[in-house]
């Protein structure tokens, strides 16, 4: 947020300030706010986070887009047990002939175990199965992974890990998921709707509420660079002079990450 100069609260509270109320009961006043609250949190709380409420085209876009779970499972071992040439163990299960209960089949969604070091494996799991994993204890996840490794390596002596740590992005209060995806029925224009800044009055030159974060970049949603670029765009919009100069010269050969990333050709 671009806060009122020099003080947390402006000397004279003015209707043109945005009020930001924090959980620790602090209040900030700002002329402009850049909101980077993740899509997962917006999905759960959009109806009571903003006063006045966000316009309907935004809340509908929030509903349509997907903010699923992708989680990591780290398994640490006392000593190396895999052939040094093995870098990754990819898992492929036969399709179930009858519908399976997620509680008894979630582990089939673990795509692979990557060797991070000789004594550290990283498993990847996503979707509803990842959400289910987040409800389990580390001991249960570790035992399940050990069974999988013993089965796929055809080796009953695969050791148990000394430590198992899993992420829980869906469960976390301040993320409520991992990253944005375009769900069936949603489109890139929903992301553009999320990115639209809001003006207090139609004649205002600068928006009062801007949005940034990976969920607002129409090409690079779901990525760190999408989040970075969207924040940069929002900040530049606020910092730009109110009347843009007539000739804007592009500076060629800039080493800036922005121009490097913008140069990436996207397929299609």
Ligand X SMILES: Cc1cc2nc3c(=O)[nH]c(=O)nc-3n(C[C@H](O)[C@H](O)[C@H](O)COP(=O)(O)OP(=O)(O)OC[C@H]3O[C@@H](n4cnc5c(N)ncnc54)[C@H](O)[C@@H]3O)c2cc1C
SS3 content of the chain, % helix, strand, coil (to 5): 30, 20, 50
Residue 107 near ligand X by CB under 6 A: no
Rounded to a whole number of angstroms, the minimum distance from the CB of residue 235 to ligand X is: 13
Contact string 27-46 vs ligand X (x = CB under 6 A)? ---------xxx--x-----
- Per CB under 6 A, the segment of 1-9, 73-81, 224-232, 246-254 that binds ligand X is 224-232
The C-alpha atoms of residue 165 and residue 73 are separated, in whole angstroms, by 6
- Positions of E strands within 9-152: 18-21, 27-35, 66-68, 70-76, 88-90, 112-117, 120-126
Please identify, among the stretches 88-96, 196-204, 217-225, 245-253, the one whose residues bind ligand X according to the rule CB under 6 A: 217-225
Of residues 224, 236, 254, 257, which one binds ligand X by CB under 6 A? 224
Q: How far is the CB of 142 from ligand X (least distance, A)?
A: 19
Site membership for ligand X, residue 165 (CB under 6 A): no
d(CA 221, CA 228): 10
For ligand X, the binding residue among 168, 223, 232, 233 (CB under 6 A) is: 223
Q: Is 178 in the site for ligand X (CB under 6 A)?
A: yes
Specify the 3-state DSSP secondary structure of 50: coil
Place of tokens 């397929």: 267
Phi, psi of 40 (to 5 degrees): -60, -40
DSSP category for residue 198: B
Determine the Cα–Cα distance for residues 191 and 175; give it in Å rounded to an integer.
Answer: 18
> Count of residues binding ligand X (CB under 6 A)?
18
* 214 is a contact residue toward ligand X (CB under 6 A): yes
Task: CB nearer to ligand X: give 148 or 234.
Answer: 234
The residues that touch ligand X, with contacts defined as CB under 6 A, are 36-38, 41, 70, 72, 169, 174-175, 178-179, 213-214, 222-225, 227
């Amino acid at each position: 947020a671009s806060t009122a100069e020099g003080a947390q609260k402006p000397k004279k509270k003015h209707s043109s300030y945005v009020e930001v109320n924090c959980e620790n009961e602090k209040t900030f006043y700002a002329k402009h706010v850049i909101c980077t609250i993740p899509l997962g949190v917006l999905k759960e709380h959009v109806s009571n986070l903003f006063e006045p409420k966000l316009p309907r085209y935004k809340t509908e876009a929030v509903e349509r887009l997907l903010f699923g779970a992708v989680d990591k499972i780290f398994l640490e071992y006392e000593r190396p047990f895999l052939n040094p040439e093995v870098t990754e163990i990819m898992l492929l299960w036969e399709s179930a002939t009858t519908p399976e209960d997620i509680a008894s089949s979630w582990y089939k969604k673990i795509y692979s175990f990557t060797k991070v070091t000789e004594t550290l494996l990283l498993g990847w799991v996503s979707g509803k199965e990842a959400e289910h994993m987040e409800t389990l204890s580390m001991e249960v996840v570790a035992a399940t992974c050990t069974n999988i490794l013993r089965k796929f390596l055809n080796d009953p002596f695969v050791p148990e890990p000394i430590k198992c740590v899993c992420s829980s992005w869906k469960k976390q209060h301040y993320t409520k998921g991992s990253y944005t995806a375009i769900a069936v029925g949603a489109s890139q224009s929903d992301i553009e709707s999320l990115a639209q800044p809001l003006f207090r009055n139609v004649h205002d030159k600068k928006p009062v509420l801007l949005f940034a974060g990976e969920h607002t970049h129409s090409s690079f949603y779901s990525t760190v660079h999408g989040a970075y670029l969207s924040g940069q765009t929002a900040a530049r919009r606020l910092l730009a002079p109110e009347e843009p100069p007539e000739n804007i010269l592009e500076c060629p050969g800039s080493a800036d990450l922005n121009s490097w990333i913008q140069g990436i050709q996207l397929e299609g």
